Amino acid sequence: MSTIEENIPAFSMWKMFNDTVPVLMKGDCSETSVRRLASIIQSKEFSNIFIFSKDPLLTFQEYHKIEQKYKAFTTWLLGQFFYLLGHDRFSKIHDIIIDTQLCILDQLSKTQLHVYNELAGEYNKAFDLLVNYSKEPSNKLLLKVFIPEMFEDLNTKLDLSQVHMEVSSKKKCLLVIGKLIKFVKYILMENFLFYSFDDGTYKTLDSILYLLSVSDTQMKLDIIDIFINIFSKPKHDFKEYDLEITKKWLIFSSLFEQFIYNIYNLQVDLKNKALDHFENLLVSYLKMGRDFKSTDRINMFIFSKSLERRDFLPSKKCVIGRN
């Protein structure tokens, strides 16, 4: 009978990660060590850590059993990295950790779509739980996500017990939400690329629309960026979206329009890069929305403001002429 080491080509790498990651989490996480792990994960040479190529000599049942173990390990590793995002002492490596997780998701979305969908669902679940907690923060929130399936032979070799992030304040909750925005953007971009909408998609859109109405300026810009990027793709036709998606776009348009008025009425202060980012988003919106009623209102507002105040100098790119 074959051993698990023989059946799973990536096992030696799994063992290395299983021994190393918990040690990094317990001590002061070395940026160099994390970068080394990240470079391994992001290397095409090591893509087989998470992806099991089907062996024609295996039956479907044999292949499926091994594939499930790959998913279990990947779930565990993503959960470990996700946990680190909730701790300030690891803040210097948060960007590396986020990029590494996105790299894993991207590999899976192109090769193991069903596994990708399950793991994307874990990020969506965590995001929705955090948004709901932010509305009424009380007690503590334990995020029980990324729980790997247990296999007896695998568990005798690896410790895949998961650690779970604990959130006990609105401040920490919003910080973690800010980290998750990049995952939300990636997952939604994939949903819209393939017109793949389900209850999870609608729920996530509702959550970011809520945040757009109540969050700080930076998060507002991040969320506006998501909507603009989703809906500005040339292949996207509003006529092909279902009614729910169209409703959510209209809600976004209304909230974004109000944000524009707040910016140029000086109710919100944007500086340098943030202002440039906002104006680039505004230009993209105006270019894609010439058939929307809000476009003329926004152009007229900017024009009237420029007449009203000589110190009002929005970028010329922000006024899109009529056809």
Q: Worst-scoring range by mean pLDDT, 52-66, 262-276, 302-316?
A: 302-316
Q: Are residues 44 and 93 in the same domain?
A: yes
What's the pTM value of the predicted model, to 2 decimals? 0.91
Predicted confidence band at 211 (pLDDT cuts at 50, 70, 90)? very high
pLDDT in the model for residue 217 = 94
pLDDT in the model for residue 97 = 95
Q: Rounded CA gap, 97 and 90, in Å?
A: 10
Within a domain: 199: no
Within a domain: 308: yes
Q: Are 54 and 16 in contact (CB under 8 A)?
A: no
Domain that holds residue 294: 216-323
Within a domain: 211: no
Within a domain: 256: yes
72 to each of 69, 78, 115, 277, how far by Cα in Å? Answer: 5, 10, 10, 40
Of 301 and 183, the structure prediction assigns the larger pLDDT to: 183
Q: Are residues 190 and 221 in the same domain?
A: no
**Residue 240 dihedral angles phi and psi, to the nearest 5°:** -90, -10
40 to each of 14, 21, 37, how far by Cα in Å? Answer: 12, 13, 5
Query: Average pLDDT over the chain, rounded to whole?
Result: 89
The yes-or-no verdict on residue 214 having pLDDT over 50 is: yes
Q: Are residues 287 and 171 in the same domain?
A: no
Number of structural domains, the chain?
2
pLDDT in the model for residue 234 = 58
pLDDT in the model for residue 205 = 97
Count Cα neighbours of 113 within 13 Å in the Cβ-side half-sphere: 5
Q: Are residues 146 and 245 in the same domain?
A: no
Q: Are residues 154 and 260 in the same domain?
A: no
Q: Are residues 319 and 230 in the same domain?
A: yes
Percent of the chain with pLDDT over 90: 62
Q: Are residues 44 and 184 in the same domain?
A: yes
Q: Are residues 241 and 305 in the same domain?
A: yes
pLDDT tens, position by position, 72-98:
999 999 999 999 999 888 888 999 999
pLDDT in the model for residue 90 = 87
Spatial neighbors of 65 by CB under 8 A, at least 6 apart, are: none
Q: Which helix (H) or strand (E) holds 167?
A: strand 165-167
Within a domain: 61: yes
Q: What is the residue-wise DSSP string for 263-295?
A: HHTTSS---HHHHHHHHHHHHHHHHH-TTSHHH
Q: Are residues 272 and 317 in the same domain?
A: yes
Q: Average pLDDT of 14-38?
A: 85
Decide which of 163, 194, 225 is a domain's last residue: 194
The yes-or-no verdict on residue 322 having pLDDT over 70 is: no
Q: Worst-scoring range by mean pLDDT, 112-121, 130-139, 191-200?
A: 191-200
Q: Are residues 172 and 298 in the same domain?
A: no
Q: Are residues 297 and 221 in the same domain?
A: yes
Residue 244 is which amino acid?
E
Within a domain: 26: yes
pLDDT in the model for residue 323 = 44
Compute CA 262 distance to the chain's CA centroid, rounded to the nearest angstrom: 27
Q: Are residues 179 and 141 in the same domain?
A: yes
pLDDT in the model for residue 235 = 57
Q: Worst-scoring range by mean pLDDT, 34-43, 62-71, 260-269, 291-300?
A: 291-300
Angle at 219 between CA 99 and CA 128, to 5 degrees: 75
Within a domain: 2: yes
Decide which of 138, 164, 194 is a domain's last residue: 194
Predicted confidence band at 185 (pLDDT cuts at 50, 70, 90)? very high
Percent of the chain with pLDDT over 70: 91
Q: Rounded CA gap, 40 and 272, in Å?
A: 37
Decide which of 162, 194, 226 is a domain's last residue: 194
Within a domain: 115: yes
* Block residue for tokens 């997780």: 101
pLDDT in the model for residue 293 = 75
pLDDT in the model for residue 312 = 60
